[in-house]
Chain A
Amino acid sequence: MRTKNLLDNLKRFFAIAVLGAASTAFATPQIQHWQAASGARVYFVENHDLPMLDVAVDFAAGSSFDPAEKSGVAGLTQSLLDLGSEGMSEDDIARGMADIGAQLSGRLDADRSGMSLRTLSSAAERDRALEILARVLQQPLFPEAVLAREKARLVANLKEAETRPESIASKTFAKAVFGDHPYGRTTSVASAEMIQRDDIEAFYRAHYSAKTAVVAIMGDVTRAEAETIAQKLTAHLPPGSEAALIPPVAMKIAANEQRIAHPATQSHIMIGAPGMARNDPDYFPLYLGNYILGGGGFVSRLMNEIREKRGMAYSVYSYFVPTKQPGMFQIGLQTKKEQADEALQLVRATLRDFVAKGPTAKELVAAKQNLIGGFALRIDSNKKIIEYLSVIGFYGLPLTYLDDFTGMVDKVTAAQIHDAFKRRVNPDAMATVIVGAPEEKAEPAK
C-alpha cells in the first residue's frame, strides 16, 4: 500500500461525522439512549438490514487508572476477563463463542477498557453469545495460573518491545510529553512483574462498575430486546466507586530533545506536546487544522513537503489524540538515518509556518469538502456506527453529534484555526524523540 493506514489506529479520533455536502442529504442513524436499571448508560441503533448484532461495553478503566507502581494492571485485568468465569474455563469461553461463529474482542486505551462482541442475530446464537459475554463481564475469576502465564507473556512482549525502535520512541515520547501524569506512564518489565492477583481483583472491583459503564448496541434487535440485553450485561457488575478522575494535564512543557542510538537503518522521529481533550472547545478548529497540516493523507502539508517533494519518508503524519484530559499532539515520521536531521528541520519549519500563518482559504475549502463530502463513508457500516455510539456515550457527546457534524465542520473559519493553533500548539515548547538517531550525536540506548 502507499501508506500505512494510520487512521485505523486512531479510530477514536475520527469520532466525527456529517451530512453530505454532496447535496444528497441522507438519514443519520437514529440513536436511542436510556439508562439501564443497573445504572449503565445505553446507546442503541436499531437496524435489521443484516442478521447480525454488535455489542460493546466500555468502562472508565483504562491504563491511566493503573496504580503508579504497578503499571499494567488495567491491561491485564482487561485481558483476563475472558480467560475464566464462574462455571466456564478459558477454553469453554473460546469454544463457546467459536461454536456459534461469534467474535469476542477486548480493547484498552488510556481512558477506556472494554469488550466487544459480534454475533449472528438468530436467537440461538445471539442468546448464547450474550450469555457468555454477561459472565465474562460480571463473573471473571482471574485464575492464579492463568495470571502467571499471561504475566509471563506480557513480560516477554515488553522485553521484545524494548528492542523495537518504534516502541522505544513511543515510550520515551509519552514520558517526555506527559511527565508523571498517568498518560505518560507505560508498562515496564519491573512493574508487570510486581502485579499480583489481588491487584487485578481490586482493580476490577473498583473500576468495572455499572456507574461508569457505557453499553453500545447496534443491529438486528428491537428496543425491548436491547433493554433486556443491556440490563443483563450490567446488572451484576461490582458496585464500584464513582468514576475516578484523571488528573489535569500540565499543558506547558519545556522544549526538549532526546536522541537514542539504535541499529535500525531509519530514525524514528516524534515531535509533540499535550494537545486537546475530546470535549475541547477548540476541537473542530484543531481537527480541521490538523487535517491540513498532517492528517489528510496524501494532500497534507507534511506529506507534500517530506514525501511528495523530496521523497524523504514513506509515512509522515500528525494527529491529536482526543482523550478525557488533553491527549497528545504528535507529528511522526521514519527516514533513513543519514537524512534524519534534514527531515527534522523540514518538519519543524512546516509546523512553524502553519502555526504562524494558519491555513490558506483554499486549504480550508479543500478540507471541508473532504470532511463534509466524505461524511457518508463514516457511517456506512454497523462496525463504524457502533464505534460512534461508544465514543458518544463515553465522552458524553450530544446525541445529535452525527447530525451536527457537517454543520460544525462547515462553520470553522481560517481565523479560528489560526487562533486555536497559536494558542494550543507551540513549536518552541515541544518534546522531540529520535530513536536510531544519526550516530555522532546519539546517547547509547539505555
Chain B
Amino acid sequence: MRAKLFGFLLFLLLLPAFAAHAGVFEKTLSNGLKVIVKEDHRAPVVVQQVWYRAGSMDESAGATGIAHVLEHMMFKGTRSVPKGEFSKRIAAAGGRENAFTSSDYTAYFQQLHKSRLPLAMKLESDRMRNLLLSETEFGKEVKVVMEERRTRTDDEPRALLYEKLMATAYQEHPYRHPVIGWMNDLQSAGAGDAREWYRRWYAPNNATLVVAGDVKAAEVFALAQRHYGVIPARKLPARKYSSEPPQLGTKRLVVKAPAKLPYLVMAYHAPVLRDPAQDWRPYALEVLAGVLDGNESARLNKTLVREQQLASSTGVGYDSTARGPGMFVLEGTPSEGKSVAELEAGLREQISLLARDGVSEEELKRVKAQVTASEVYKRDSLFYQAMQIGQTESIGLSHKDIPLMLQKLQAVTAQQVQEVANEFLKDDSLTVATLDPLPLSSERKRMKGANHHAH
C-alpha cells in the first residue's frame, strides 16, 4: 500500500486518534499559510512541520515520482543557504530533521531545543520560495531515489506485490501509481520537471505549518509572521482527478519474485471520511479492522494463526482518512503446507461470519478501550501529536474535528460494523494479489533479462 511504502503512515492506521484537544491554537496568515500550534510544556523541545498539500496523487501518468524527488531536492540549497548547509545548521543546533512524501502530501520537519525554533523557521521559510534546482544536483539526487526504489520496492517482494496490487485495484485514480514513482519515469525526469512542480505547489497558501512543544502560541504566530508572512501567496492550479469507476467483478494478479513463502493480499474498495459529523461508515470500518486484527486475540490471529494454523501471520489495513478513495485490506502468509487458496478460503470464511453474525458487544468494547488508551499514550509523543494535526489538515479535514472523530468512533454500534462488512467486503470490489515465490536460482536468470531490458 502507499502507506506501507512510506512507513510512517502505519501508525496512523491504528485508528485516527483524537483527543483532549486542549492547548491547540490556529491562525491563518494573510498569505494563506495556516499556522497551528500545540502547546505542550513537558520538555524544553519543539517540533516544526510544514505540510504541503501536494503528493503523488497530484502527478500525471508518465511523470510519477516527482513529488518525492522534489522532497529530496529541498535539501539541495537555496541562494543564501548552499547545498548541504540546511542539514549542517540543523545538526549544529542539536536538531534532527527529515521529510516524507505520501500520495496525499509532502511534509518537512525538524525537532530541536525550543530555543532553536527561530533557526528552523528561517531555514524552512527560505526553501519555501528560494530553492535552487540545478541539473547537476538533480542528476545526482534522482540516482539516490532510484537506489531508494531498488531498496524499498524492487528488491522487496512484498512491496512489489503491493505496488502491482494498487496498479490493478485502481483503474483510473492516481493512487494506482507508486509514491516513489515508476523506474522509467524516474529515468526520464529532469530538473525542469522538479522546477515546475515546485513552482506549482510550494506556496504558503498550499501549506500548513504545525509547531508543537514548549512554546507560547502568540510567540509562534509572531515568529511565523516574520519568517513566512513575507512570502507572497500564489494562484494554485485547478486540481482535476479521475474518479475511480466502480469495479465490476473480482480482479486477480500474481507476482513472481525470489522468496520462500507465498503471500496473499485481498483489497476491497472502501469509503473514507469526508464529513466527520455525518459519515458513519468509515468509523465502523475502523472498528471492524480492530475486531479482526486489533490485538493478538482478535479474530484473524486467534482463528487462522492459532486455532486452524492456516496462516503463520495475518493482518488488516484500513485508513479512514485520505484525500483519495479508500481500501480495506486483509493479508496473510500461509503456514507451511497450506496454499494461498486455502488461506483465501479461510479469510473469506471470517468475512462471511462477520456479515452473517456480526460482532459481539465484548469485541466492540475491547476495540474502544484500546482507542481510549491510545489517546492517552499519544500524549507521550510530541511528534505524533503534530503529525496527527498536519495529516488531518492536509487531507482536507480540520484539526478541530479530531475530538468529534473520537466521539463518533466510540459511538459505533455492533450493527453498524455488521452493515459495513456486508456492504463493502464484497467480491465485486475485491482485488486478490498473490506472491508466487521463485527459487533464487531461476530468478537470477529472469533478473538478468529484466536488467537488460531496463537499460
Contact: B151 with A266, CB < 8 Å?
yes
What residues of chain B lie closer than 8 Å to A52, measured between beta carbons? 376-377, 380
Contact: A265 with B155, CB < 8 Å?
yes
Contact: B260 with A263, CB < 8 Å?
no
Contact: B306 with A90, CB < 8 Å?
yes
What residues of chain B lie closer than 8 Å to A298, measured between beta carbons? 75, 84, 87, 91, 97
User: A374 touches which one: B113, B154, B376 (CB < 8 A)?
Assistant: B113
Contact: B261 with A156, CB < 8 Å?
yes
* Most A CB within 10 A of own CB, among B44, B116, B258: B44
Identify which of B48-56, B277-285, B294-302 touches chain A: B294-302
In the assembled complex, how far is the CB of residue B253 from the closest CB belonging to chain A, in whole angstroms?
21
What residues of chain B lie closer than 8 Å to A276, measured between beta carbons? none
What residues of chain B lie closer than 8 Å to A157, measured between beta carbons? 312
User: B261 touches which one: A2, A160, A366 (CB < 8 A)?
Assistant: A160
* Most B CB within 10 A of own CB, among A5, A297, A298: A298
In the assembled complex, how far is the CB of residue B298 from the closest CB belonging to chain A, in whole angstroms?
8
Is the CB of B148 closer than 8 A to any CB of chain A? yes
In the assembled complex, how far is the CB of residue A37 from the closest CB belonging to chain B, in whole angstroms?
31
Is the CB of A101 closer than 8 A to any CB of chain B? yes
What residues of chain B lie closer than 8 Å to A309, measured between beta carbons? 140
Report Cα–Cα, A241/B87, bound state, in Å: 50
Is the CB of B353 closer than 8 A to any CB of chain A? no
What residues of chain B lie closer than 8 Å to A165, measured between beta carbons? 155
What residues of chain B lie closer than 8 Å to A311, measured between beta carbons? 139-144, 147
What residues of chain B lie closer than 8 Å to A264, measured between beta carbons? 150, 154-155, 258, 447
Contact: A156 with B312, CB < 8 Å?
yes
In the complex, chain A residues 175-194 whose Cβ is within 8 Å of any chain B Cβ: none
Contact: B447 with A373, CB < 8 Å?
no
What residues of chain B lie closer than 8 Å to A375, measured between beta carbons? 94
What residues of chain A lie closer than 8 Å to B298, measured between beta carbons? 98
In the complex, chain A residues 64-105 whose Cβ is within 8 Å of any chain B Cβ: 90-91, 94-95, 97-103
What residues of chain B lie closer than 8 Å to A265, measured between beta carbons? 150, 154-155, 447, 451
Contact: A297 with B258, CB < 8 Å?
no
In the complex, chain B residues 397-455 whose Cβ is within 8 Å of any chain A Cβ: 437, 440-441, 443-444, 446-447, 451
* Most B CB within 10 A of own CB, among A155, A297, A366, A380: A380
Contact: A376 with B91, CB < 8 Å?
no
Q: Nearest A residue to B290 by beta-carbon distance?
A: A98
Report Cα–Cα, A118/B369, bound state, in Å: 14
Identify which of A20-28, A107-115, A246-254, A417-425 touches chain B: A20-28
Is the CB of B331 closer than 8 A to any CB of chain A? no
Report Cα–Cα, A165/B260, bound state, in Å: 13
Report Cα–Cα, A296/B92, bound state, in Å: 11
In the assembled complex, how far is the CB of residue A437 from the closest CB belonging to chain B, in whole angstroms?
12
A263 in contact with B147 given A22-B116, A26-B44 (CB within 8 Å): no
What residues of chain A lie closer than 8 Å to B302, measured between beta carbons? 91
Contact: A383 with B380, CB < 8 Å?
yes
Report Cα–Cα, A372/B421, bound state, in Å: 53
Report Cα–Cα, A374/B92, bound state, in Å: 9
What residues of chain B lie closer than 8 Å to A366, measured between beta carbons? 88, 91-92
Contact: B42 with A376, CB < 8 Å?
no
What residues of chain B lie closer than 8 Å to A308, measured between beta carbons? 83-84, 140
Is the CB of A50 closer than 8 A to any CB of chain B? yes
What residues of chain B lie closer than 8 Å to A100, measured between beta carbons? 369, 373
Contact: B92 with A370, CB < 8 Å?
yes
Contact: A377 with B96, CB < 8 Å?
yes
In the assembled complex, how far is the CB of residue B111 from the closest CB belonging to chain A, in whole angstroms?
6
* Most A CB within 10 A of own CB, among B99, B111, B380: B380
Q: Which 5 A-B pairs have the closest CB atoms?
A: A373-B94, A101-B373, A374-B94, A311-B143, A94-B297
- A to B CB contacts below 8 Å, 7 in the list: A22-B116, A50-B376, A100-B373, A263-B444, A266-B155, A334-B151, A383-B381
New A-B pairs, 17, CB < 8 Å, besides A98-B370, A375-B94: A1-B8, A2-B75, A26-B44, A50-B376, A52-B376, A91-B306, A101-B374, A120-B373, A160-B261, A163-B440, A264-B155, A299-B87, A314-B144, A372-B94, A373-B112, A376-B43, A379-B43
